[in-house]
Amino acid sequence: MNNKQSIPGASRALSMATIAFAANFSVWILYAVIGLELQKSLQLTATQLGFFFASPMLTGALARIPMGILTDSYNPKHLFTLQMLCILPALLILPRVDSLSQYLWLGLWLGLSGASFTIGIRYVCAWYTRDTQGTAMGIFGAGNAGAAITLAIAPLIIQHWGWASLGPSYAAGLLIVALLFAWLAPSAPNASKGNQHAIKKSSSNSTFLKEIGQLKVWRFGLYYYFVFGSFLALIMWLPQYYVNAYDLSIQQAMAFTLFFVATSSMVRALGGWFADRYGGRAVNWTVFWICLVCLFFLSYPPTTMTIHGVSTDVHLSIEINLWLFSGLIFIIGIAQGFGRASVYKTIYDYYPNQMGSIGGFVAAIGALGGCTLPIAFGLVVDIMRIHSACFMLLYAVLALCMTTMFFANKADRLRQRINHAQSHNFLDQT
């Protein structure tokens, strides 16, 4: 990234923040691995499994709002370090948990790792100018690859050292990252003449409340609910989906999910570059259309059809096989990676001085998708008894996002034409 467009020390800050975020994200989705074993040992229904997956997502979502407000007022480097240290006791307690209710309570504690995104975004934004914000936030967002770390490493830890070693191993790793971050990461700069777009403190809580009352903030949250919330939900849901729908082994299911997570996470930096170059709104709209087409096919359940012909019956079998399913999921993951970056580029265009508070609020709404969607997946699967019902639900969520975006864009264009007319005295300004 061009140093002329950032403050000295920006590259080191971005690198350390991305590593710290990846470590936190790997902890946040740890239940995706544990869930496969618990579903068998505790005989969980799809709905119960959804609640299990949702518990860390809930606090990860809700904690982003107060954490975002704090990062606008306090040093985000110190907050980032403290946040990581607070997770360590929960990881050490993990081997002692043996019931669903205990896992749910502990998941709420582990979910604080999800708040790391809000701290990191605020920390990174302070180092870069408007023209490079999308790329910088995209690189930081590639820390979502921490999910790939868990999907690859956690099964190996369990295989070689047993379930009891999983929590302490992650605690040791997170402690090392926290200490390295505290030692090597530079403190976030204050707004200065050399960087006119550096993030400043929000003026007051009343300003924040006024901003979140605007419909466009909720609109951004809805977009992020799909591109990030459904990404989280799929990370948690796909391993068991592969096992139950395609009879794969746990190792095979993890491998397919790992591919989805890794590719979706790594393209986020490229998505940020596209958002800088072509605009966040254009990227979002393209992402939604691509996902809509893919979800249409993924929603179709395996179907056997008999057509009564003139002299004989014709039997048809329609099914999305494993490789086509994985290809469509891969495309959705790539599109969501672009979408996560472009949404935050759009937020920065509107709220450059409130990336902690407004960005945290939007991140919270998005992360709630990781909480509510697994539960909804479990409910629709238990009710409809169709594995692909979860993709039918995602299709409906995306249709709502696209409808909202269409009318919002239409209203924005109308507002621009009215403002243009008033500026040229075509309308009376009364």
Backbone φ/ψ region at 319: left (φ over 0), alpha (ψ -120 to 50), beta = beta
Q: How far apart are CA 329 and CA 195, in angstroms?
A: 40
Q: Which of 401, 5, 16 is nearest to 229 (CA)?
A: 401
Whether residue 152 is predicted with pLDDT greater than 70 in this model: the reply is: yes
Residue 196: band (very low, low, confident or very high) from pLDDT cuts 50, 70, 90: very low
Contact partners, residue 185, CB within 8 Å, separation at least 6: 12, 13, 16, 17, 20, 77, 80
Q: Locate the domains of the chain by residue range.
A: 10-188+208-306+315-416
What CA dihedral angle connects 258, 263, 269 and 272, to 10 degrees? -120
Residue-wise pLDDT for 34-60, tens only, equals 887 888 888 888 889 889 999 999 999
Residue-wise pLDDT for 306-328, tens only, equals 888 878 888 888 888 999 999 99
Contact partners, residue 268, CB within 8 Å, separation at least 6: 138, 139, 141, 142, 144, 337, 338, 340, 341
3-class DSSP state of 19: helix
3-class DSSP state of 344: helix
State which amino acid sits at residue 234: L
Which region among 17-21, 122-126, 152-156, 426-430 has the lowest average model confidence (pLDDT)? 426-430
pLDDT average, residue stretch 114-132? 85
- Angle, helices 166-184/10-28, rounded to nearest 10 degrees: 160
Q: Output 350 or 31, whichever has higher pLDDT.
A: 31
Residue 314: HSE in the Cβ half-sphere, 13 Å Cα cutoff: 6
What integer pLDDT is reported at residue 84 of this predicted model? Answer: 95
Whether residue 202 is predicted with pLDDT greater than 50 in this model: the reply is: no
Q: What percent of the chain has pLDDT over 90?
A: 33
Which region among 13-22, 137-146, 234-243 has the lowest average model confidence (pLDDT)? 137-146
pLDDT average, residue stretch 115-132? 84
The CA-atom distances, in angstroms, between 268 and each of 230, 258, 324, 329 are 15, 16, 23, 16
Contact partners, residue 186, CB within 8 Å, separation at least 6: 9, 12, 13, 77
Q: Where are the alpha helices (DSSP H) in 351-388?
A: 357-384
pTM, to two decimals: 0.77
CATH architecture of 10-188+208-306+315-416: Up-down Bundle (1.20)
In what helix (H) or strand (E) does residue 276 lie, and over which residues does it extend?
Answer: helix 268-278
Q: How far apart are CA 136 and CA 272, in angstroms?
A: 7
Q: How many helices (H) and strands (E) does the chain have?
A: 19, 2
Which region among 6-10, 21-25, 49-53, 257-261 has the lowest average model confidence (pLDDT)? 6-10
Whether residue 29 is predicted with pLDDT greater than 60 in this model: the reply is: yes
Q: How far apart are CA 355 and CA 358, in angstroms?
A: 6
What integer pLDDT is reported at residue 197 of this predicted model? Answer: 41
Whether residue 200 is predicted with pLDDT greater than 60 in this model: the reply is: no
